Amino acid sequence: MRNYNSIQEIDKHLKILRLQADIHKQRAEIDFKYIKLALKPTNLFAEFVAMLSQKYLYKKIVQIILKKIR
């Protein structure tokens, strides 16, 4: 437990706590908006296509390397 010597110290600490709470609230709102945007069907589809393209590209690179080694 924290001890205070004056009303000003209490007010200062309360102000700091309010600011910290505001910061956390804003971060939560930003995170929620980001998650909401990321879960849109168009974004999910784009991520899926990108993942498939990347796997295909890696497969082709490995095939080319293996052909050169043989």
For the cut 90, the answer to whether the pLDDT of residue 70 exceeds it is: no
Give pLDDT tens digits for 7-65: 999 999 999 999 999 999 999 999 999 999 889 999 889 989 999 999 999 999 999 99
Query: What's the pTM?
Result: 0.57
Burial pattern 29-50, b for ≥16 Cβ within 10 A else e, equals eeeeeeeeeeeeeeeeeeeeee
State the pLDDT at residue 43.
87
State the pLDDT at residue 1.
84
State the pLDDT at residue 67.
87
Do 43 and 37 form a contact (C-beta atoms < 8 A)? yes
